């Protein structure tokens, strides 16, 4: 790997963190500069369980990777892709558990704005991934390359967005049945 490639990856990650943090603060901070997101005790307990499931997901994922390494199984992806996949899996497990147990969105959080944020991140990553696919940079020399992370990111955000929509529909149907 060239120094320019390594620098590009590091700068890209730092840029994404800065943009993500800025957008996240915009969505969560109210006009008085205080955080909008409040979770009740039940939500905090559910989120704790979700974090635990996410932790066990990455623990099992890493154990599987150790076994594959001992067996000298070569996976068709770059090492950073292998690590990234574990992060995405654990985040999806946490988010899914929290969504279906009413603990993903805080009490005072702008759910619509948050959904737009999630969709935007997903679409941006889909576009980047599509261009990489078009330029044949996703799968090179028998391995998935780092541009595949954009497609993983799209998948994760799309899945979470779809789950949020399905949960909303389910809640509305339950409310209608109660009336």
Is 108 in the same domain as 131? yes
Distance between CA atoms of residues 17 and 20, nearest Å: 5
Is 56 in the same domain as 10? no
- pLDDT tens digit string along 142-174? 898 888 999 999 999 989 988 888 888 898 999
pLDDT of residue 65: 96
Is 95 in the same domain as 31? no
The answer to whether the CB of 88 falls within 8 A of the CB of 95 is: no
Q: With a cut of 50, list the residues of the chain below it in pLDDT.
A: none
pLDDT of residue 46: 95
Secondary structure of residue 27 in the 3-state scheme: helix
pLDDT of residue 28: 61
From residue 136, give the alpha-carbon distance in Å to each of 9, 145, 147, 165: 18, 10, 10, 33
Is 87 in the same domain as 75? yes
- Of all residues in the chain, the percent with pLDDT exceeding 90 is 39
CB-based contacts of 5, cutoff 8 Å, min separation 6: none
pLDDT of residue 96: 96
Is 100 in the same domain as 161? yes
Domain, as residue range, for 29 = 1-36
Threshold 0.85, pTM exceeds:
no
Distance between CA atoms of residues 163 and 119, nearest Å: 12
- Give the chain's domain count: 2
Residue that the structure tokens 């999630």 belong to: 118
Is 16 in the same domain as 94? no
pLDDT of residue 107: 73
């Amino acid at each position: 790997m060239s120094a320019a490639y390594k620098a590009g990856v590091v700068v890209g990650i730092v840029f994404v963190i800065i943009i993500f943090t800025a957008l996240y603060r915009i969505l969560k901070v109210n006009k008085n500069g205080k955080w909008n997101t409040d979770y009740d005790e039940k939500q905090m307990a559910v989120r704790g369980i979700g974090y635990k499931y996410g932790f066990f997901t990455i623990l099992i994922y890493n154990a599987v990777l150790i076994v594959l390494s001992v067996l000298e199984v070569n996976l068709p992806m770059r090492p950073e892709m292998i690590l990234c996949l574990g992060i995405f899996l654990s985040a999806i497990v946490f988010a899914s558990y929290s969504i279906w147990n009413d603990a993903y969105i805080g009490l005072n959080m702008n759910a619509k704005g948050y959904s737009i944020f999630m969709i935007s991140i997903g679409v941006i990553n889909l576009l980047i991934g599509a261009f990489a696919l078009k330029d044949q940079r996703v799968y090179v020399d028998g391995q998935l390359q780092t541009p595949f992370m954009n497609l993983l990111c799209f998948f994760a955000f799309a899945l979470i967005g779809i789950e949020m929509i399905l949960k909303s529909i389910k809640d509305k149907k339950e409310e209608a049945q109660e009336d």
